[in-house]
Amino acid sequence: MSKIVVLGSGVVGLAMAMLLARQGHEATVFERDDAPAPGSPEEAWSGWDRGGVAQFRQPHFLHCSARQIFDQHLPEVKEALLRAGCVTFDYLTLLPPSITDRAPRPGDERFVTVTGRRPVVEYAVARVAEEFLPIERGVAITGLLTGPSAAPGIPHVSGVRTTDGVEIRADLVVDAMGRRSKLPDWLGAIGARRPLEEAEESGFVYYTRYFRDASGTIPPCRAGLLTHFHSFSLLTLLCDSGTWSVTVFFFTGDPALKALRDPARWTKLIAACPAHAQWLEGEPISDVLAMGGIVDRYRRFVVDGAPVATGVVSVGDAWACTNPVQGRGIGIGLIHAVGTAEVVREHVDDPVALALAQDTMTKARATPWYRDTVAFDRRRTTQIAAAIAGREAPSPTGPLDLLPVAMLYDADLFRAFLEINSLLALPEDVLARPGLADRIVEVAGTHQPPVPRGPSREEVLRMLA
């Protein structure tokens, strides 16, 4: 049994700590925010002060991979989500009418997820975690402690220091401090090399409003959860307890659309989209919440074949954070946490082997999702830039780019799309299936990309003027 400290009590940090506690390690979570987990889901939504998570009340969706991980590794969490009012959602209910083959397939249950508002999800995870292990809230960590090196010239982390100067020794430190994690600076302060880091502004602004129906009736979903119009997109997410969120997002470099911050204009735009207007039929339970300036950022802690330090690993957003257009952050983080737990189980007594195995695992299981998400962002910003300039967007060419069209006309391609979208199977693994890439190209070749029903760019600009 090892002593492990997990820094940060977001959903990924808590899940990580529970996975480690389940292996028999003495895991403790240290969280900077001092507010305790509230007494009910509704208090979590209305009053939980979680300043450490800037996106706490922004729209969140848990993908099927997250549900699958909870089922396999932390079934208590899924039970707690359901008790907290989270909704069970079967993605196959979105099978479009253009697909006539409605026959079920073996394994279709993998497309079911359980999701809710982020404060409610985190409330449920935190209540379970409290039964597993200590969560020390109101303890901010400010730097790393070092011990004897496990390999020449590589600093070894042997604990952390709080802002009050308290030293906490540990066999392993897990950085789950989210997208604002300062671990590279802390590593620099103990003489370690900096990790490799890539970062780019994702380029989107989000305007979100939440609604509730007192009778618990959720409006019918007449389009997918995510619909891309010319220069804006709409994201409609089912949440818990008869609530849902509606988000308009667009390119940062499109100042004309910033007028959508005004609730009246925001409402007018949604009302003008026939397949989405029904999402306004509820009582608004928030203002139009804005968020922008979100970066895609990735870190690698093995440089030139050697770890920058031992005794410390990063998980979830602290390792890599993505623009939330595809709502993948928690799902990717949980995949990473499960892989990290496996690495710890194998190598906890060998710090160098642990650091190298963590890098290999991350590269194989989590990095491809980061790359896929960034590639999606770049494709979408190219499309939007073309729409703003009044140009045709470049035509999709490769099978992965053509899949969003082909999946509307073929039941198996629809499932292939869902597997990728929901982080159930990596794109390269799906495309490697015999005949699948050819089938995508063939189906997409006989159909035009659908044009979502709603106002043209000129009409939107007139509406917002």
Ligand X SMILES: Cc1cc2nc3c(=O)[nH]c(=O)nc-3n(C[C@H](O)[C@H](O)[C@H](O)COP(=O)(O)OP(=O)(O)OC[C@H]3O[C@@H](n4cnc5c(N)ncnc54)[C@H](O)[C@@H]3O)c2cc1C
Provide the minimum distance between the beta carbon of 325 and ligand X in the complex, in angstroms, as a whole number: 9
Provide the minimum distance between the beta carbon of 396 and ligand X in the complex, in angstroms, as a whole number: 24
Out of 74, 124, 135, 330, name the contact with ligand X by CB under 6 A.
330
177 binds ligand X (CB under 6 A): yes
156 binds ligand X (CB under 6 A): no
Helix (H, G, I), strand (E, B) or coil at 451: coil
Provide the minimum distance between the beta carbon of 8 and ligand X in the complex, in angstroms, as a whole number: 3
- By rule CB under 6 A, what string of x and - marks binding of each residue 25-44 to ligand X? -----xxxx-----------
12 binds ligand X (CB under 6 A): yes
- Identify residues 59-78 at the interface with ligand X (CB under 6 A): 59-61
Provide the minimum distance between the beta carbon of 153 and ligand X in the complex, in angstroms, as a whole number: 27
176 binds ligand X (CB under 6 A): yes
376 binds ligand X (CB under 6 A): no
Residue with tokens 């609530």: 243
119 binds ligand X (CB under 6 A): no
DSSP letter for each residue of 112-167: EEEE--HHHHHHHHHHHHHHHS-EEET--EEEEEEEEEEETTEEEEEEEEETT--E
Out of 317, 359, 377, 419, name the contact with ligand X by CB under 6 A.
317
**Count of residues touching ligand X (by CB under 6 A):** 37
Cα-flanking dihedrals φ and ψ of residue 217, to 5°? -80, 125
What is the C-alpha to C-alpha distance for residues 224 and 243, in angstroms, rounded to an integer? Answer: 18
DSSP letter for each residue of 215-243: T-PPPP--S-SEEE-SSEEEEEEE-STTE
294 binds ligand X (CB under 6 A): yes
* End-to-end Cα distance, the chain: 64
- Identify residues 196-225 at the interface with ligand X (CB under 6 A): 206
Give yes or no for a contact between 372 and 430, defined as CB atoms under 8 angstroms apart: no
Convert 354-390 into a string of H (helix), E (strand) and C (coil): HHHHHHHHHHHHCHHHHHHHHHHHHHHHHHHHHHHHC
Cα-flanking dihedrals φ and ψ of residue 124, to 5°? -65, -45
328 binds ligand X (CB under 6 A): yes
Provide the minimum distance between the beta carbon of 201 and ligand X in the complex, in angstroms, as a whole number: 13
178 binds ligand X (CB under 6 A): yes
Residues that bind ligand X (CB under 6 A): 7-13, 30-33, 52-53, 55, 58-61, 140-141, 176-179, 206, 291, 294, 316-318, 324, 327-331, 333
